[in-house]
Amino acid sequence: MRKLSALTAATAASLLLAACGSADDASTEATADSVEMPADSALEPVDEAPVADPSATATDAPEAVAPATADQASEAAADVADKALAAAAEGEEETPAQ
């Protein structure tokens, strides 16, 4: 019964929102002139030249991180698997019998 009342309320709310919409003429298509201004007219009042930012450089590269060896990767994977099994076993102990 709750699901039916929730569904009825959701349907009524969606119909109410649809009824609040405007009935303007939607047949006119959007054109580039009516949607946004062209870039040239947007930049007309700007007379200044661009200035380089001295703190930003294209040569800044992140420090290299040493790649993990296959042994380190397998040990890490085994640790994660052990923790997952322990967590699963712990979850089974806490789950009440049904």
pLDDT (0 to 100) of residue 28: 60
The whole-angstrom separation of Cα 6 and Cα 10 is 6
pTM of the full structure: 0.30
pLDDT (0 to 100) of residue 95: 56
The whole-angstrom separation of Cα 87 and Cα 92 is 9
Contact yes or no for 32/38 (Cβ under 8 A): yes
- Could you tell me which of 60, 59, 77 has the C-alpha nearest to residue 68? 77
Tell me: the pLDDT tens digits for 15-48?
A: 777 767 665 665 566 565 555 666 667 777 777 8
pLDDT (0 to 100) of residue 16: 76
pLDDT (0 to 100) of residue 83: 94
Give the tokens for residue 61: 């590269």
